[in-house]
Amino acid sequence: MADRYLSFTGSAPGRFLTRRLGLPQPSALRRWSPERPGLAEGEVLHLTAGKPAPSAAGSPCAVVLDATGVRDVDGLAGVHAALHPVVRSVATSGRVVVLGAPLDLADHHQAAAQQALEGFTRSLGKEIGRGRTVNLVRLTDRDAAESTLRFLLSPKSAYVSGQVIEVRGTALEVPVDRDRPLAGRTALVTGAARGIGAAVAETLARDGAQVVVLDVPQAEEDARKLAETLGGRALALDITAADAGERIAAELPDGLDVLIHNAGITRDRRLVNMPADRWSSVLDVNLASVLRTTDALLAAGTLRPGGRIVATASIAGLAGNAGQTNYGASKAGIVGLVRSLAPRALAEHGVTVNAVAPGFIETKMTAAVPLLIREAGRRMNSLAQGGLPVDVAETTAWLAHPASGAVNGQVVRICGQSLLGA
């Protein structure tokens, strides 16, 4: 369903009226397309906290601030001094990326100053407006952060703001073809016949992957049509089956490089009115099936070294949502899975494990939500609008990128910096 309010505020009368009434004034986001693969015209301005800023002509399309050397409260003054003169001039749908260092727990002054950067970037993201985003990247090696910076400084990250992403390690794989970084790799997407899953499958195929479109037998026709369009293959399978992992492994004897856990359901009802079957069905699809199939595929060696696992969480699992105790529990469980499995999967199998956590995404499901609730969902984020399935897909593709091996154990929200949750 079209966002009519967003269209209205893009008109001259809409801008005038919403300004007078103090209503949200969202800007149409610039997303990636083959015709417009970059941000708006303008330079990327590189700044360093505590050093004089270079002169900039016009409006920069992005600002990268190196704050890795900030170690105390006095150093934070350099962050203000660097961004204060330029933040107003950043182009519409522009980017601000702050580079920070991991917290040194042996130095509480450094830890305090670096943690302060998180509050700074989240706050700036909520006030910067005009479709611009602000994110913080904590890194130990700049080369290992290349894929992350390319993503955050591109239109592909249009709905990702207020995030803190850790990039640890030095391992870096540079794809032969930057336009098709997943060429030669096999990706499996669950729940891929429609909606967000279909967008993920399409984006991974765009990036060169051979995609296996997995969905329940009832959606087999849609899955086959999509697979044919993408030059991939369909797999009709109930992901909650006890032997789902073993059956996937048997279907992929040559192995798998990218595993996307997207399948999910909702059975909303307040806890006092929720029968056991509505609870168990959501937990089984959204969490138990992810645990079972991941364990089976890792044990079978189906996921090759250098592989990627990306699971789908939700801001409902981070902030909670009335009427969704089952859904919120299942999605919070994904976060726990990622935090626990990521270091072991990397050490034992050479596979990274991350999660995406969508907020309000414009789908057929959200189109059926009552008007007032739908409008609240759209406006209650720093970008004052809903996201699109492609926003989740682009973030997933970045985490699946061969050069994203130093991004592990992360839960990245695709929510326009929702005003709910951390």
The string of pLDDT tens digits covering residues 93-124 is 999 999 999 999 999 999 999 999 999 999 99
3-class secondary structure, 239: coil
pLDDT of residue 364: 83
For residue 193, what is the DSSP state?
S
CB-based burial, 29-39: b 16+ in 10 Å, e otherwise: bbbbeeeeeeb
In contact, 122 and 140? CB cutoff 8 Å:
no
What element of type H or E holds 261? Answer: strand 256-261
pLDDT(194) > 60: yes
Count of CB atoms situated within 10 Å of the CB of 324:
22
Amino acid code (one letter) for 76: L
Residue 5 bears catalytic tag: no
Of all residues in the chain, the percent with pLDDT exceeding 70 is: 99
pLDDT-derived band of residue 293, with 50, 70 and 90 as boundaries? very high
Q: Which is higher by pLDDT, 376 or 261?
A: 261
pLDDT band at 82 (very low <50, low <70, confident <90, very high): very high
Residue type, 340: S
Q: Is the pLDDT of residue 133 over 90?
A: yes
Sequence-ordered list of residues with C-beta below 8 angstroms from that of 24, at least 6 positions apart, any chain: 9, 18, 379, 384
Q: What are the backbone angles phi and psi of residue 414, rounded to the nearest 5°?
A: -115, 85
- Residue whose entry in the numeric block shows the structure tokens 């967008």: 199
Q: Is 143 left (phi over 0), alpha (psi -120 to 50) or beta?
A: alpha
CATH topology of domain 186-414: Rossmann fold (3.40.50)
Q: How big is the CA angle at 120 (ends 116 and 125), to the nearest 5 degrees?
A: 150
pLDDT at position 354 is: 98
The one-letter code for the residue type at 282 is: V
| pLDDT recorded at residue 176 | 75
What is the enclosing helix (H) or strand (E) of 263? none
CB 261 within 8 A of CB 286: no
Local structure of residue 404 (DSSP, 8 states): G
* Predicted pLDDT at 407: 97
d(CA 237, CA 217): 6
Confidence of residue 367 (pLDDT cuts 50, 70, 90): confident
Chain mean pLDDT for the chain: 95
Domain layout of the chain by residue ranges = 25-167, 186-414
Alpha helices (runs of H) in 181-313, residue ranges in sequence order: 195-206, 220-230, 244-251, 276-283, 289-300
Instruction: State which of 132-146, 161-175, 361-375 shows the largest mean pLDDT.
Output: 132-146
237 with 191: CB under 8 angstroms? no
Among 94-103, 163-172, 304-313, the minimum mean pLDDT is found in 163-172
Question: Is residue 200 within 8 Å of 174, Cβ to Cβ?
Answer: no
Query: 170-202 burial, b for 16+ CB within 10 Å, e for fewer?
Result: eebeebeeeeebbeebbbbbbbbbbbbbbbbbb
In order of 94, 172, 397, the CA distances from 394 in angstroms are 17, 20, 5
Q: Which of 5, 151, 327, 398 is catalytic?
A: 327
Residue 422: is its pLDDT beyond 70? no
The 411-414 sheet, strands edge to edge: 233-236, 210-215, 186-190, 256-261, 303-312, 352-358, 411-414
Residue 1 predicted with pLDDT over 90 = no
Same topology between domain 25-167 and domain 186-414: yes
Cβ-contact 135, 98 below 8 angstroms:
yes
SS3 293: helix
The predicted model scores a pTM of 0.96
Instruction: Say what the pLDDT of residue 211 is.
Output: 98
Q: Are 74 and 112 in contact (CB under 8 A)?
A: no
Q: Which fold does the domain 25-167 belong to in CATH?
A: Rossmann fold (3.40.50)
- Give kind and range of the element (H or E) at residue 305: strand 303-312
Residue for token digits 């703001």? 161
Residue 225: the pLDDT is 98
d(CA 422, CA 339): 16
Sorting pLDDT into bands at 50, 70 and 90, what band is 171? low
pLDDT at 50 over 80: yes
- A 10 A CB-CB count for 11 gives 10
pLDDT for the residue numbered 421: 67
Q: Assess whether pLDDT exceeds 60 at residue 391.
A: yes
Q: Which residue has the higher pLDDT, 284 or 175?
A: 284
- The reported pLDDT for the residue numbered 169 is 84
> What's the pLDDT band for 41 if we cut at 50, 70, 90?
confident
Pick from 9-23, 92-106, 137-151, 274-288: least confident? 9-23
- Model confidence at 198, pLDDT cuts 50, 70, 90, reads very high
In a 3-state reduction of DSSP, which class is residue 344? helix
